[in-house]
Structure 1
Amino acid sequence: MENSGSPKDHSQFTLLGSKRFAPFFFTQFFGAFNDNVYKNSLMAMITFGVLSSSADLSLMNNLGALLFILPFFLFSALAGQLSDKYEKSSLIRKIKLLEIVIMGLGAFAFITGATWGLMLLLFLMGTQSAFFGPVKYSIIPQHLDSHELVGGNALVEMGTFVAILLGTLAATSIATTENGALITGIAVVAVAILGYGASRAIPSAPSPSPELKIHFNPLTETWRTIGFAREQRSIFLAVLAISWFWFLGAAYLTQIYGFTSDILKGDQSVVMILLGTFSIGIALGSLLCERLSGHKVELGLVPLGSIGLTIFGADLFFHTASPDSATLISASQFLSQAGNLRIVFDFLMIGVFGGFYIVPLYAMIQARSDEKHRSRIIAAINIMNALFMVFSAITAIVFLGVLEWSIPEFFLLLAILNALVAIYIYRTIPEFAMRFIIWVITHTVYRVRHINLDNIPDEGACVLVCNHVSFMDALIIGGACRRPVRFVTFKPIYHLPVLNFVFRTAKAIPIDSKKADPEGYERAFAQIREELQAGEVVCIFPEGKLTTDGEIDEFKNGVSRILEETPVPVVPMALRGLWGSFFSHMGKPAMTRWPKRFWSKVDLVAGEVVSAEQATPAHLKAKVEELRGDQR
């Protein structure tokens, strides 16, 4: 998808030079990095005997995970309330000061070898993370414009997983070296101070609900918090979809160690290769989201992500186990063996498609949630994420421990479950599938360049008028616009297979001529009036039919009636490059000849807003002809 002619088309990386975003980005980056340095250093020191423990290693690992996750159940509801009630940049700074205190205690415990003290501090770290989570995602839409949401979330996800990778690598490198405990203690305090320093530059984010009364009961408030997410069904299913991703992620990351040693016969360096590949994949997929979505919240990427997660997760099952070896092989030996690059590629693509899946969901929730309790909806995500991660661990215990399945069989089960979850979500909320169909068509059949689409108002009612060249016109416009569009569609086109599902899901308005269907004709205008009065965008093709000669036909008077009943701004638009395509009437009726053009270049250009008073059919036709020019 190409973009042109708009200041909104700048790369997401420009946000890293913006005071609105950069301080927040580095604050969360240092926090994620520090968490992983601490947790992985602690476990590495216990594993290799640098820290002594009377308990079994497996018990310590599981206890550590429990201590870190428990605060998300206990404190997320309170954290969401605080984030909605108080100014967010000040709240972040207080949370980062708490991190400095926790890491200071952690440094003392590392240096003195207080293993159980370090374990208890995991609970405080989880508490600090639980309080940071709601403000982390709810502050983004306060500082970024709607067209920057996908890019901002993509950078946050990329930064988080890069920080996890770098923190894990740093912990592995320094934890077992001479003076590793001292170095680790100094490092976690220093990084916490860096995070606090970055937080001081975060711009103010005023409270959306200063009148909110804080309630401390974790049980009742947790249920109330989840209730906010359940108010809109689409938002709640997006919450569940995000939590399902963390179910998958926890399962893969937990089993990667056993998969490497038992199936791949690899040592710790092979584990790091796979972990690194997975994290890089998430970062790459997250960054690609902005380009693939055209700077808007593109829900069509979510089904694409689901498909990739299923395909590449299932492929891990079909890898032939490495032969038994007396010693575990190193990373270089692993990569030199035929077939192992496929495993690396699978983990890379699981990460990439995971990025496609998760970023639009977070952006959707931020865009559609009520600002007054957005933080509490984010808190609900954290609660559900923690719950699903616990379910993930229980599922692994049942299938791998009780039923004695192999890890590849467990990976295949995860892929199948992911497909079933995806089918349920997309059947329940057809908008995901509808956007996916539009996205696939507009990114495979055509290369669409968007020109001056920022002329479409970000808020309020307006009418789009465009020339009518092919059966794909509405899909191309719908796939390009950042706002949902209600299309007024000629009834025979509305009822075409596949397109009918798209039009119904997009709440298109079918219309026929007044002579052919007088009642339907009046019903259509009544619905158009209702949509405009509700502040929606309505798109009409004033020619009333597809062009048969490539030229723009006379604009009918329907647009005048619409504007007389509901005077709203009009945005003229033109499609260029569709004439002669398989879906146009050039030479023969559309779709009755073999297609000859694939991935052809198409322009969608928007003109300056025209007032309702000036928007006569003749004037609008002249504007559309001017925008189209000689390119049919």
Structure 2
Amino acid sequence: MSQFALLGKRRFAPFFWTQALGAFNDNAFRNALLMLVAFQMGLGDYTVSLYTNFAPALFIIPFFLFSATAGQLAEKFEKTRIIRWVKLFEIVAMVVAAIGFYTHHLSLLLVVLFMMGMHSTVFGPIKYAILPQALKPAELVGGNGLVEMGTQLAILIGMIAGNALMLVAGVGPLLASGATIAVAVAGYLVSRRIPAAPATAPELKFNWNPFSETARVLRITRADRAVWNAVLGISWFWFFGTVLIAQLPNYTRETLGGDGSVNTLVLTLFSVGSGIGALLCERLSGKRVEIGLVPLGAFGLTVFGVDLYLARHGMAAMRGVDWLTFLHGAGSWRIALDLTLIGVFAGFYVVPLFAFVQARAPREKLSRIIAGNNIVNALLIVLAAGFGLGLGALGLDASQIFLAAALLNIAVAAYIFTLVPEFLMRFITWVLVNTLYRVRADGLQQIPEDGPVLLVCNHVSYMDPLLLMANLRRPVRFVMYYKIFKIPLMSFVFRTAKAIPIAGYKEDAAVLQRAYDAIDDALAAGEVVCIFPEGGLTGDGRIAPFRTGVEKILARRPVTVVPLALRGLWGSVWSRRDSRLHRARLPRRFRARVELVAGAPLEPIEASAEALEARVNELRGDLA
């Protein structure tokens, strides 16, 4: 099923439109306010600059003050009820804004800006915590991609609408007021269609102290190292995006020599690119939470950020050109492509990170972890503003600031991927598997979503663990021959995936015993363990007799067993088809079409070595 089918589902569509309408209104109001201050109130340049720089800070202060409280609300109470109260609050805020627009009462409008910051603060933890409750695991990446796409386009349209409506001569304030109130009302009406999302921690003891609760939320967010570093990655995305968006007006005017229409064009290219990247994540990841896309996204941000600087820097020879004239200029399509691809790779970067946090974080703590994420995001946004202002004060122009951010991205990405090698391991796995194979998976929904599971699979090539790792949604502990475990480069992947090396009793009895102990510990902890009971790669394409080690594992720890079969790998890269002919192991089929099939789960009492061998043979069929 395509991710777009979710837009026809009540469990997703009303939330999607509620979120998109809210993002539209945030940006329509803020840009209408900026247009009012800059062009319609007759204020001096210093006063305009003061207000335009103060406004973003006023919007973001609630994220620091109330995110922790918002996280508690989202955990303790039913989420859709909170959403409806938030949307009613938005209607009140837009009515107050209409009074401010009509009377040109700037202080009142700044109060509304603070109110909209509170609106986003309370909605934020619900926004991402509600998706795992509404979506199936296979829909999580696609749903996040749609939300990110809808948010980006809503932000863009809201910015354009806020600017355009407020600048209509004579009636701008009335048009802006009417539009934002209408959208707020529409958002409330749509929110009433969102299905119930029960509280995930109804017994939570509420802490009204925002400072102590903020400290507690940050401790919860940092409890899981991988989740915390995903949060840091998301916050870095906001840093990078804030630097880019903040510098675009100066870049448009000074480097590109464009007018307001060119500024709208470059914003559109970045936003559309982000939406495309977000939507592509589901296809590239095979509907799994594939954090291997994150290093790819980081790589693209740097490459195209640097190329944006190389494409054009310095001061433009002409000023005030419109968007059509700009596109006809030399090198302009390269700039347009760079801006679009920065957006695409931003989508590759951030969507898997959000999905990873949602999938990995405990459900009863997810809203508070999202609140912690929002606090760190807000801090990085403030630092991004200081970064841009500081480099500007040192004399760097917008294109040079883009270059600095793109180069800094290398250091930040390297830091995150060093702290959590799982990101890089998944990237290596994703690249290798998608380069060498075209995989069709069937029946993987048979694998339970939680609890201990033992997977058994036939063994055809050295790539088997990577193929499984790239296609199974749950993290898997693979049991593998200790000499394969030590293969250069692959050893990094296997160690990071916490694979379990094993040896024969006659080779190394101590390694064998440690393997059995590690398998039992993993199953006791509710993890998924995969073994290849043949004890080695097939030498003739047929499944060898299963050894009784699987029975020893189940005798010690009775758990659900799921049989798997790999089809079509015989003769592909790193199988042993050519070895028996005494020739080099060269691939007979590059980008081979292979299949991974899962059978129905078996109870431990049914899962003898002989029964499992017969079941895997049946699943594999004639396609070796």
TM-score range, shorter chain: over 0.9
SS of the residue corresponding to residue 550 of structure 1 reads: coil
Question: 1:86-125 maps to which residues of 2 (within 5 A)?
Answer: 86-125=77-116
Encode CA deviations 1:403-450: one digit per residue, 9 max, x unaligned: 212322221211111111111111111111111111111111111111
Once the 2 structures are TM-superposed, how far is the Cα of residue 58 of structure 1 from its aligned partner?
A: 1.9
Which of residues 370, 383, 392 is equivalent to 1:391? 383
Q: What is aligned with 2:616?
A: 624
SS of the residue corresponding to residue 538 of structure 1 reads: strand
Quote the Cα distance in structure 1 between the aligned partners of 2:318 and 2:72: 56
Which of residues 8, 23, 29 is equivalent to 1:38? 29
Question: 1:132-281 maps to which residues of 2 (within 5 A)?
Answer: 132-178=123-169, 179-281=171-273
Quote the Cα distance in structure 2 between the aligned partners of 1:420 and 1:245: 14
Alpha carbons of 1:523 and 1:383: their partners in 2 closer, same or farther (altered >3 Å)? same
Encode CA deviations 1:30-70: one digit per residue, 9 max, x unaligned: 100011111111212322x2234355322221011111111
Quote the Cα distance in structure 2 between the aligned partners of 1:435 and 1:201: 38
Q: What is aligned with 1:72?
A: 63
Q: Does 1:51 align with 2:41?
A: yes
Q: What is aligned with 1:369?
A: 361
Quote the Cα distance in structure 2 between the aligned partners of 1:366 and 1:559: 33
Which of residues 378, 383, 401 is equivalent to 1:410? 401
Quote the Cα distance in structure 1 between the aligned partners of 2:181 and 2:504: 73
Q: What is aligned with 2:331?
A: 339
Once the 2 structures are TM-superposed, how far is the Cα of residue 113 of structure 1 from its aligned partner?
A: 2.4
Encode CA deviations 1:275-311: one digit per residue, 9 max, x unaligned: 0011111111111111111222111111111111111
Q: What is aligned with 1:286?
A: 278
Letter in 2 for 1:480: N
Quote the Cα distance in structure 2 between the aligned partners of 1:445 and 1:582: 7
Q: Does 1:446 align with 2:437?
A: yes
Once the 2 structures are TM-superposed, how far is the Cα of residue 226 of structure 1 from its aligned partner?
A: 1.2
Quote the Cα distance in structure 2 between the aligned partners of 1:109 and 1:217: 32
Asked whether the equivalents of residues 459 and 535 of structure 1 are also in contact (C-alpha less than 8 Å), the reply is yes
Asked whether the equivalents of residues 102 and 174 of structure 2 are also in contact (C-alpha less than 8 Å), the reply is yes
Once the 2 structures are TM-superposed, how far is the Cα of residue 592 of structure 1 from its aligned partner?
A: 4.0
Once the 2 structures are TM-superposed, how far is the Cα of residue 596 of structure 1 from its aligned partner?
A: 5.0
Quote the Cα distance in structure 2 between the aligned partners of 1:411 and 1:546: 51
**Which segments of 5 or more consecutive residues in structure 1 lack a partner in the other structure?**
1-9
Q: What is aligned with 2:506?
A: 515
Asked whether the equivalents of residues 452 and 559 of structure 2 are also in contact (C-alpha less than 8 Å), the reply is yes
Asked whether the equivalents of residues 584 and 591 of structure 1 are also in contact (C-alpha less than 8 Å), the reply is no
Quote the Cα distance in structure 1 between the aligned partners of 2:535 and 2:497: 20
Once the 2 structures are TM-superposed, how far is the Cα of residue 322 of structure 1 from its aligned partner?
A: 7.6
Encode CA deviations 1:461-518: one digit per residue, 9 max, x unaligned: 2221111111100000011001111111011111101111111111111111111111
Alpha carbons of 1:84 and 1:611: their partners in 2 closer, same or farther (altered >3 Å)? closer
SS of the residue corresponding to residue 249 of structure 2 reads: helix
Encode CA deviations 1:186-216: one digit per residue, 9 max, x unaligned: 1100000000001111122222233333333
Q: What is aligned with 1:606?
A: 598
Asked whether the equivalents of residues 574 and 586 of structure 2 are also in contact (C-alpha less than 8 Å), the reply is no
Quote the Cα distance in structure 2 between the aligned partners of 1:324 and 1:408: 12
Quote the Cα distance in structure 2 between the aligned partners of 1:371 and 1:535: 16
SS of the residue corresponding to residue 160 of structure 1 reads: helix
Alpha carbons of 1:199 and 1:557: their partners in 2 closer, same or farther (altered >3 Å)? same
SS of the residue corresponding to residue 450 of structure 1 reads: strand
Identical-residue share of aligned pairs (%): 49
Once the 2 structures are TM-superposed, how far is the Cα of residue 360 of structure 1 from its aligned partner?
A: 1.3
Asked whether the equivalents of residues 51 and 115 of structure 1 are also in contact (C-alpha less than 8 Å), the reply is no
Q: What is aligned with 1:6?
A: none
Alpha carbons of 1:359 and 1:327: their partners in 2 closer, same or farther (altered >3 Å)? closer
Letter in 1 for 2:146: L
Q: What is aligned with 1:542?
A: 533
Once the 2 structures are TM-superposed, how far is the Cα of residue 531 of structure 1 from its aligned partner?
A: 1.4
Q: What is aligned with 2:11?
A: 20
Alpha carbons of 1:91 and 1:323: their partners in 2 closer, same or farther (altered >3 Å)? closer
Alpha carbons of 1:493 and 1:598: their partners in 2 closer, same or farther (altered >3 Å)? same
**Which segments of 5 or more consecutive residues in structure 2 lack a partner in the other structure?**
none
Asked whether the equivalents of residues 578 and 584 of structure 2 are also in contact (C-alpha less than 8 Å), the reply is no
Per the normalisation by structure 1, the TM-score is 0.95
Once the 2 structures are TM-superposed, how far is the Cα of residue 591 of structure 1 from its aligned partner?
A: 10
Asked whether the equivalents of residues 256 and 316 of structure 2 are also in contact (C-alpha less than 8 Å), the reply is no
Once the 2 structures are TM-superposed, how far is the Cα of residue 104 of structure 1 from its aligned partner?
A: 0.4
Question: 1:569-580 maps to which residues of 2 (within 5 A)?
Answer: 569-580=560-571
Q: What is aligned with 1:295?
A: 287
Quote the Cα distance in structure 2 between the aligned partners of 1:378 and 1:229: 8
Asked whether the equivalents of residues 569 and 594 of structure 2 are also in contact (C-alpha less than 8 Å), the reply is yes
Asked whether the equivalents of residues 571 and 587 of structure 2 are also in contact (C-alpha less than 8 Å), the reply is no
SS of the residue corresponding to residue 417 of structure 2 reads: helix
SS of the residue corresponding to residue 424 of structure 2 reads: helix
SS of the residue corresponding to residue 40 of structure 2 reads: coil
Quote the Cα distance in structure 2 between the aligned partners of 1:176 and 1:436: 48
Letter in 2 for 1:100: I
Once the 2 structures are TM-superposed, how far is the Cα of residue 135 of structure 1 from its aligned partner?
A: 1.5
Once the 2 structures are TM-superposed, how far is the Cα of residue 533 of structure 1 from its aligned partner?
A: 2.0
Quote the Cα distance in structure 2 between the aligned partners of 1:240 and 1:328: 39
Once the 2 structures are TM-superposed, how far is the Cα of residue 565 of structure 1 from its aligned partner?
A: 1.9
Letter in 2 for 1:448: V
Superposed CA RMSD in Å reads 1.7
Q: Does 1:311 align with 2:307?
A: no
Asked whether the equivalents of residues 543 and 556 of structure 1 are also in contact (C-alpha less than 8 Å), the reply is yes
Alpha carbons of 1:156 and 1:330: their partners in 2 closer, same or farther (altered >3 Å)? same
Letter in 1 for 2:442: I
SS of the residue corresponding to residue 609 of structure 1 reads: coil
Quote the Cα distance in structure 1 between the aligned partners of 2:71 and 2:62: 13
Alpha carbons of 1:106 and 1:335: their partners in 2 closer, same or farther (altered >3 Å)? same
Letter in 2 for 1:53: L
Which sits farther off after the overlay, 564-573 or 183-192? Answer: 564-573
Alpha carbons of 1:326 and 1:457: their partners in 2 closer, same or farther (altered >3 Å)? closer
How many aligned residue pairs are there? 621
Quote the Cα distance in structure 2 between the aligned partners of 1:479 and 1:59: 51
Once the 2 structures are TM-superposed, how far is the Cα of residue 610 of structure 1 from its aligned partner?
A: 2.5
Asked whether the equivalents of residues 574 and 585 of structure 2 are also in contact (C-alpha less than 8 Å), the reply is no
